[in-house]
Amino acid sequence: MKALKAVRGMHDIQPNDTELWRFVEREIKAVLQQYGYQEMRLPLLEMTALFQRGVGENTDIVEKEMYSFLDRNGESLTLRPELTASIVRAGIEHGLFYNQIQKIWSMGALFRYERPQKGRSRQFHQCSVECFGVQSPASDAELMMICARIWSRLHVSEYLKLEINTLGSQIERQAYRMSLVDYLTPYTNDLDEDSQRRLISNPLRILDSKIPLTQDILSQAPTMQDYLGSESTAFFEQICILLDQRQIKYHINPQLVRGLDYYSHTVFEWKTEQLGSQGTVCGGGRYDGLVEQLGGKATSATGFAIGFERLLLLLEATLVKDRLLKKEEISVTLVISSPESIPYSMDLLESIRNHFPKIEVLSAWSGSLKSQIKRAYAMGSQLALMIGDQEVSGKTITIRFLKEDNKTETITKQALFELLQNQTVNHNNIESLSAD
RNA sequence: GUGGGCGUAGCUCAGUAGGUAGAGCUCAGGAUUGUGACUCCUGCGGUCGUGGGUUCAAAUCCCAUCGUCCACCCCA
């Protein structure tokens, strides 16, 4: 029989790692709430046409990376390769964009059929943040500030660099695109294979080619800036002013293009050097045309997406992870000397759980005394509750303070509860102090 | 889709003139008759990724295949 394994490129997140995931999710949500964003939860499956129209027919995502299949009724469905299209679809469907400002986030699993490598898997997770109905550049700048605040809370600011660029309006972009094609066409044979292909399908993408010869040719090419109108220029400058004012450092990268078709005006990426070639942890920009393109009325929109796997890799690579995850719960571990102690102990533990919902109450119910004690230390408990025949018959508990010189004493259940009460109070005080 | 590295115990890995598998860690039990960490002893644990081939004999050589990692590509 063939061994059952996870599908290629789809990874289990194991118990050791979920704590970090939950921590990061919690921090991101907290920041988003500060800015008035609300959560939306969406289906994993959408009609294939949504992504064809939303993401763009000649993007790599649509051309070769989608998990598409026919439903039983013959309709083509696709596992979502990104969140923005789904959010826009849902917004249109429920009339959320009708003369309203909507600030929405969503997070979850996405699917792209790609060759797995570091920072890239076939099922991965993003948090996508979108602001609809605000045409001011303040909206673009604010999104970058949200990101900066998240990095700060996660202590990774120093590892992430912001790059920004503007693609101009649709019309300006098209004019530039034509002139770029005109410029490059005579050099077609000198371009690398991929760039030759993109000359037809998506010429702007050639700008961020890594091939030296292609970059040589591009050095004399017309630039986007030559085609920006005064409005677009002012819009971009306003964003820079706002970032400067808040002392958020950025680098203007004229080669920054981004692969999805729907962007216009602002595009930005947060990159790190720590993760090898997949260093973009967060990317976003303005996509004023998307709502209309998907059948809604024209609506300004900006947004970004954070890649969870890459963010977590960064936390691990920089060892920030170890600082973030300090165990804060009060924890006690039961140690019994024989199975005869089980009924008395079970009753005690359930009683503790009733009175102290926040305390972690652990038990192995088996193994030698030695191994149970070892486990109590390993789990980080403050207290071991040791129960044997003497405790059962005397209705007492022998406690051992695992964090303070292993002091041991035998006390009544009531005394134990008072002790736990005090510990909980002290613990809460410490917590509220450190929160300031 | 293209190229390269790697798949041996739960984990990290040794095993390179082909001779039917080892270590450390972890875990369990004991030395210590009711109390972790050090030390010592014992034990659990492997169809050597999978399938073919060469050979008296394959973890080792050959082929295929799958997975993984890194890079290209692309993006988060």
CB within 7 A of strand B (chain A, 338-377): 367-371, 373-375, 377
Q: Which nucleotides of B are covered by protein (CB under 7 A)?
A: 1-3, 27-30, 34-37, 47, 49, 66-76
From the alpha carbon of A259, which nucleotide's C1' atom is closest? B75
Residue A89 lies in a domain: yes
Identify whether residues A412 and A307 lie together within a single domain. no
A54, A262 Cβ separation under 8 angstroms: yes
Whether residues A296 and A389 share a domain: the answer is: no
Q: What are phi and psi of A163, to 5 degrees?
A: -120, 135
- Residue at shortest CA–C1' distance from B51: A2
- Cα A226 to its chain centre, rounded Å, is 36
pLDDT value of position A318: 86
Q: Residue A400 is which amino acid?
A: R
What pLDDT shows up at residue A433?
A: 43
Strand B at less than 7 A from CB of A60: yes
CB A301 within 8 A of CB A285: no
Which residues span the domain enclosing A388?
A: 331-434
Q: Write out the two tokens for A25.
A: 């999710």
Domain end, chosen from A323, A353, A375, is at: A323
Domain assignment of residue A10, yes or no: no
- Whether the CB of A75 is less than 7 Å away from nucleic strand B comes out as no
Asked whether residue A270 falls in the same domain as residue A410, the answer is: no
CATH number of the CATH domain containing A384: 3.40.50.800
| Residues paired with A335 in a beta bridge | A386
Which residue in this structure is represented by tokens 């044997």?
Answer: A388
Are both A283 and A393 inside the same structural domain? no
pLDDT score of A431: 45
Q: What is the ipTM of this complex?
A: 0.87
For A339 and B61, how far is CA from C1' in angstroms? 57
From A290, A307, A323, the end of a domain falls on A323
CB-strand contact A12/B, under 7 Å: no
Residues A112 and A63 in one domain: yes
Mean pLDDT by 10 residues, chain A (436 residues): 80 89 96 98 97 88 90 95 97 94 97 92 96 96 98 95 93 90 89 82 83 84 90 96 97 85 90 90 94 94 96 89 77 92 95 94 92 91 93 94 87 95 73 41
Q: Which of A323, A350, A383 is the last residue of a domain?
A: A323
Cβ A97 vs Cβ A133: under 8 Å: yes
Reported as half-sphere exposure (CB side, CA atoms, 13 A), residue A269 has a value of 16
Q: Does A394 contact strand B, using a CB cutoff of 7 Å? A: no
In a domain, A189, yes or no: no
What pLDDT score was predicted for residue A5?
A: 83
Do A339 and A365 lie in one domain? The reply is: yes
Distance A247 CA to B46 C1' (A): 58
Instruction: Work out how many domains chain A is built from and give that number.
Output: 2
